[in-house]
Amino acid sequence: MVKVAVLGAAGGIGQPLSLLLKANTTITELALFDIANTAGVAADLSHINTPAKVTGYKGDEQLEGALKGADVVVIPAGVPRKPGMTRDDLFKINAGIVKNLATAAAKHCPKAFMAIISNPVNSTVPIVAEVFKAHGVYDAKRIFGVTTLDIVRANTFVSELKNTEPQSTNVPVIGGHSGVTIIPVLSATGHSFTDEQVERLTQRIQYGGDEVVKAKDGAGSATLSMAYAGARFVNSLLEASVLKKTGVTECTYVKSDVAEGLEYFSTVVELGPEGVSKIHPIPSLNAHEKKLLDAAVPELKANIQKGVDFVKNATSRL
């Protein structure tokens, strides 16, 4: 039995993500949770002839049912950006949402792999970790920030420039998931780029999210490409943990000591039966990439501290 719970399943990401997960034949139960509209999404997806039994859960009182027995919990719940906003501007609303959902997960499925999509990821991952610590069920190997969309974008943009197959282009993107904290390691692709190409690609990968926010013009941020990226990440987790495939890797934002002074960082991570199996070090960086890393550190550090403090302050008020 393999149960995946999607929290925020009726949203812009939640619906297409749930559709893609319904197509994964390893999953036997897909639990869809949201504060509204889950019944319709669940009924709709339940007619697809793949093994996963689809169930809908709505509102706080049904959260336990969605989470009980879950092997993987994916969280795309929360508000998206509008033009002019940073991901950090979402903290005010999303921090509380993620904290409450993590609290329920710590109680009802403490061993589940937690895949966090809700922004700002740089802060929401530490929030989930602190909640699990407060409940005495913390396992750093099981909590992931989903940064896969940065890799998906980087692969697309590089393959367009270099005329390579998009699926076999593989650009490591390390660091965090917002603006300057997103560090594409173009030097690791085996391609050569002019300085101007590096500049343009880096800017586009770091601000790919803004490109979509602008194009959607007030109607939200990336949903379809994020659903694709989220499904890719969950599929990799299940391949490594359930199907016991070896050598499955993804860049993901986890508790890590690869970057001095930072508690969380994304590099290539090998996935295994217990979640994180091996964290690869920061790949060798050229001078330009070292500068990107230097620029990322202070922002990432502040984002992480903000998440940690949010839970600590909330706990002390209890």
Ligand X SMILES: O=C([O-])CC(=O)C(=O)O
- Two structure tokens written together for 273: 């039966």
Report the C-alpha gap between 171 and 168 in whole angstroms: 10
Piece in contact with ligand NAI (CB under 6 A), picked from 2-10, 23-31, 103-111, 191-199 = 2-10
Query: Could you tell which of ligand NAI, ligand X, none binds residue 213, using a CB distance below 5 to 8 A set by kind?
Result: ligand X
Least distance from ligand NAI to the Cβ atom of residue 177, Å:
6
The whole-angstrom distance between residue 253's C-alpha and the CA centroid of its chain comes to 8
Q: Which of 108, 177, 191, 288 is catalytic?
A: 177
Is 226 marked as binding a ligand? yes
Q: Which of 42, 45, 129, 146 forms a contact with ligand NAI (CB under 6 A)?
A: 146
Is 9 marked as binding a ligand? yes
Piece in contact with ligand NAI (CB under 6 A), picked from 40-48, 217-225, 242-250, 275-283 = 217-225
Query: Could you tell which of ligand NAI, ligand X, none binds residue 14, using a CB distance below 5 to 8 A set by kind?
Result: ligand NAI
Q: Which is nearer to ligand X, 22 or 81 (CB)?
A: 81
Q: From 146, 161, 145, select the one nearest 225 (Cα to Cα).
A: 146
Going from the C-alpha of 178 to that of each of 28, 87, 173, 174, the distances in angstroms are 34, 7, 12, 11
Report the C-alpha gap between 305 and 299 in whole angstroms: 10
Query: Could you tell which of ligand X, ligand NAI, none binds residue 220, using a CB distance below 5 to 8 A set by kind?
Result: ligand NAI
108 is catalytic: no
Report the C-alpha gap between 73 and 233 in whole angstroms: 12
CA angle 249–274–152, rounded 5-degree value: 25
Question: Per the annotation, where are the binding residues for NAD(+)?
Answer: 8-14, 34, 94, 117-119, 226
Q: Write out the catalytic residue numbers.
A: 177
